[in-house]
Amino acid sequence: MSRLHDLFDHESQSPWLDNIRRGWIASGELERWVARGVRGLTSNPSIFQKAIQGSAEYDQQFTEAIGSGLDVEASYWELVTSDISAALDILRRVYDQSEGLDGYVSVEVDPGLARDSEGTEASARELDERLAAPNLYIKIPATAEGLAPIQQMISEKRSINVTLIFSLERYAAVMEAYVAGLEAAPGDLSDISSVASFFISRVDVEIDRRLDEIGTQEALALKGKAAVANGKLAYELFQQTFTGPRWEALVVRGARVQRPLWASTSTKNPDYPDTLYVDELIGPDTVNTLPDDTLEAFEHHGTVARTVDEGVQEAHAVIDALAGLGIHMDEVTENLEDEGVAAFEKSFDELLAALGEKAAGLACDP
């Protein structure tokens, strides 16, 4: 048994893979990850940009799609949904064996719709119906404009991965959208699933930069602490939300908690342990989605122990100390949300531009 198996068996945390490549599907590598203990898979526009632009594995299908009369964007979605469909088939066994707890594969709506409620809702519904798999998660960004579509999709019994959550305030709003969506859904709720992707390492990147600018001993002592503290407070909020009479009324109807999913958990600062954002956020009813190199590192030397609800008072103290230095989490996380949306949109646009150039080249070929 691997550390990844131990993570789930002993601490009830599900390790997922935050990457997808067509070569992994064809070679059996993704199946080997599942055998090693991976229980789900997440993707995003940046991941697909790297996969599609980084290899020739998609050229034949893209050429066929363009040749059939599809435009560049429609051809892109053909490439993406082909990979997602294949991954859904591979992970289906995990879904069935876990009775719908794990085995999910996530695909994100067009990132250009992050500030468009109506467009997001329509895109999420179309993707869900196009792929039509019980272990599919549609990813919707947790922007203010994304909250209504999230609630609507849950009320329609569509399973959702809410992504790009940075702040506790927005996280609370996401959980409210989930609960309200369940309340509006008809009948039995046991086939509805959702995770809330709370981003971790980017918080340290931004706050460490600000602490370096302050440069005092007090400021530098806080480096590398904000992201884990923010995650621990998110878990505290999760525990508070999914309890009490309102939630219990939904449990009677078969409702599942919306698990926190720790995202952006590779370590960006080489001075920090490479498993920092795994080791410090382990606990029940959670998911951690990890790039393959971080999964390998955790398999080699990670620590399997419940940590997510340890040191919660210290986590509050870290956030308070940052505020005392003029670093306010609400302002930091708002900036990070804007940057996250822009980064995914940039990846999407750059990939479409590259595919457009390739399509133009095909049109010029004799």
Closest CA to 30 of 79, 81, 84: 84
- pTM for the whole thing? 0.96
pLDDT number for residue 359: 87
Q: Which domains does the chain have, with CATH numbers?
A: 3-201+228-304+337-364 (3.20.20.70)
Instruction: Give the 3-state secondary structure of residue 163.
Output: strand
CB-CB neighbours of 290 under 10 Å: 26
pLDDT number for residue 360: 86
The answer to whether 45 and 351 have CB atoms below 8 angstroms apart is: yes
pLDDT number for residue 363: 62
CA 258 to chain centre: 13
- Beta strand spans in the chain (E): 13-17, 105-108, 136-141, 160-165, 194-199, 259-263, 286-290
Closest CA to 190 of 139, 257, 244, 125: 257
Q: Which residue has the tokens 């400021």?
A: 219
pLDDT number for residue 364: 55
What stretches in the chain show pLDDT beneath 50?
366
pLDDT number for residue 366: 41
- In DSSP notation, 62-116 reads HHHHHHTT--HHHHHHHHHHHHHHHHHHHHHHHHHHTTTSS--EEEEPPGGGTT-
Burial-class residue 322 by CB neighbours within 10 Å (0-12, 13-18, 19+): buried
Give tens-digit pLDDT for 144-198.
999 999 999 999 999 999 999 999 999 999 999 999 999 999 999 999 999 999 9
Residues with catalytic function: 139
Put the strands of the sheet holding 194-199 in their side by side order: 13-17, 286-290, 259-263, 194-199, 160-165, 136-141, 105-108
Tokens of 68: 């059939």
